[in-house]
Amino acid sequence: MAKKAETNLNRTKTALGGETKFSGILRFRDSLKIDGVFEGSIDSPGFLVIEKNASVTADISIGSLVVGGTLNGNVTAEDKIEILPGGNITGNIKCSRFVMADDTGFSGKCEMLQENQNIDVFSMPLERLRKSLGRD
């Protein structure tokens, strides 16, 4: 696991424990670790960790994501998505950086977002975004 990911894993401010089953909409600013079961949607500019035994069924819009458990849903990450050994994502992903360790699973489409400081991909109309990226 990358050193930066290890640092972020140790700094998560909020956690949903292994006995937790939660459904709904999660919004947070900084960091969240899920050890239990979650269904719904997640929207945050922060950092999300889905632990080894966790199961998440959600569409996610996030700053960065680390998956050690099971994720079913589509993900858009402003920065990075990392799948740890034993982790699995079933769904489409969009991110600037994508890291997969050995013994992981991924089933879906991956779209790599260009890093461009002048583009706000979350508020720009789709046609204008395509034009900015040269994808008319």
What's the confidence (pLDDT) of residue 17? 80
Q: What predicted TM-score, i.e. pTM, was given to this entire model?
A: 0.74
Mean pLDDT, the chain, rounded, equals: 84
Distances from the Cα of 67 to the Cα of 52, 99, 119, 122, 126, angstroms: 8, 10, 27, 22, 28
Q: Is the pLDDT of residue 47 over 60?
A: yes
Which comes out higher in pLDDT, residue 31 or 119? Answer: 31
**Separate counts of helices (H) and strands (E) for the chain:** 2, 15
Question: How many whole angstroms from its chain centre is CA 28?
Answer: 13
CA distance 41 to 101: 25
What's the confidence (pLDDT) of residue 116? 53
Rounded to an integer, the average pLDDT of 64-87 is: 96
Q: Is the pLDDT of residue 15 over 90?
A: no
What's the confidence (pLDDT) of residue 8? 47
**Which tokens hold the place of 73?**
């849903």
